[in-house]
Amino acid sequence: MTFKQLEAIYWVTQLGGFSQAADKLHTTQSAISKRVQELETLFNMPLFDRTQRTSRLTEKGEEMYVVAKKLLEQRDAAVNQFISSQEVVRRLRIGVTELTAMTWLPRLVNLVQTHHPRVVLEPDVDMSMILRDKLLANEVDVIFVPDSCKDERFTTKRLGVVENAWMCKPGTFDGMKVKRLHDLSSHTFLTQGDKSGTGVLYNQWLSSVNMQPSNTIVCNSLLAIIGMTVSGLGFSYLPRQSVEPLVQSNLLEVLKISPTLPKTNYVAAFKSDQRSTLISSIILLAQECCDFSRALQTT
C-alpha cells in the first residue's frame, strides 16, 4: 500500500469523481483508476460501488477512506515537522565586557529575540584580553570589547564610544589645588589591570603623559572600582554617562583636570576565517543598540 494509492481513494471521495481526483493530483484518470484497483486487489475487496453512476464507496471503502485520511494527515504532519526542524536553533556565543553587560546587553538580547527568534545567545562576561583568548580558542563566536588589541587574525567593526572621566568621592580633594593630572600622583589610584582592554589603553596613555601614581590598587571589576571610589579609597576613571546617577546622588564627584582622558572606542571582533551572515547580522544589531549612557537598557 502506497501513499499514492491512499491519495487516490481520498481525493476521489472528497471531490466526487475520478477525473476530479486526477486534476487535483496532476495525473490522468486512468492512473487514478489503476491506483484504486491496486488497493482493491491488495485487500481482495471492492472499494467503490461500480453499479452506480457516481463514485460511491462500499462499506469497506468507507473504512479504507477513514484509514487513508488518517495516514495522509500523519504523513503531512511528519513532513511539516521535518521542514520546520530545518530551521535549526542556533547558539551564538558572545563575549562582552562588564560595562556592556551593565548597559546595553539587555537591549541587544531583545533585538536578537525579535529578529532571530531561533537564535539563542550565550553571553560570556569577562575581561577583554581573556575574551580575546577565548575567541582565538573558538570558545566564543564574537566579542564586544574596547579596541585595544590589534591582531590580523581578527576582523573588527566599530560599535561606539565610551567617554570616561576622573572621579572620586565628593570632598576628597576639598581645599586642595587639583587642576592637573600630576596633582593626583601622591593619591591612591584605582585602576583596571592588564586583562582589561580599557586598563591596557589607559595604562599606555598614563605612561605617555608620564603619570606614575605612588600607590595603585588594581582591580579588574568595574563594579568593584565604582564601589571603592564611592567609598573614598582613591580616585579612578569611570564611564561618565553610565555613572551619572551616582554623580547626581552626590556619591561621586567628577574631577575637572587636564589632560582629559581619551575616549575609548568599542568594537565587535570575530575571527577573520570564520565569517558568517549570522555574526554579521548580530553585529549590525549591536551597532544599532550600543549605548553606554544608561544602565540596564531594554529599549
Structural domains in the chain?
Answer: 3-85 (1.10.10.10), 90-161+265-289 (3.40.190.10), 164-262 (3.40.190.10)
DSSP secondary structure letter of residue 193: -
Collapsing DSSP to helix, strand or coil, 270 comes out as: strand
Q: How do residues 229-269 score in pLDDT, each as one tens digit?
A: 999 999 999 999 999 999 999 999 999 988 989 999 999 99
Helices 105-115, 277-289: axis angle to 10 degrees equals 130
Q: How do residues 1-10 score in pLDDT, each as one tens digit?
A: 888 888 988 8
Is 112 within 8 Å of 279 (Cβ atoms)?
no
Question: Average pLDDT, stretch 132-138?
Answer: 96
84 pLDDT band (50/70/90 cuts)? Answer: low
Q: Phi then psi for 119, rounded to 5 degrees? A: -105, 130
Is 39 within 8 Å of 2 (Cβ atoms)?
no
Task: Supply the pLDDT for residue 52.
Answer: 72
85 pLDDT band (50/70/90 cuts)? Answer: low
Distance from first CA to last CA of the chain, Å, rounded?
A: 57
Integer Cα distance of 67 and 229 in angstroms: 76
pLDDT at 62 over 60: yes
Task: Supply the pLDDT for residue 171.
Answer: 92
Integer Cα distance of 172 and 250 in angstroms: 12
Question: Average pLDDT, stretch 122-144?
Answer: 96
Question: Average pLDDT, stretch 75-90?
Answer: 70
Q: Phi then psi for 122, rounded to 5 degrees? A: -120, 90
pLDDT, greater one: 47 or 244: 244
Determine the residue type at 263: K
The DSSP element (H or E) to which 234 belongs, if any, is none
Q: How do residues 153-162 score in pLDDT, each as one tens digit?
A: 999 999 999 9
pLDDT, greater one: 284 or 61: 284
Nearest to 96 by CA among 159, 33, 150, 54: 159
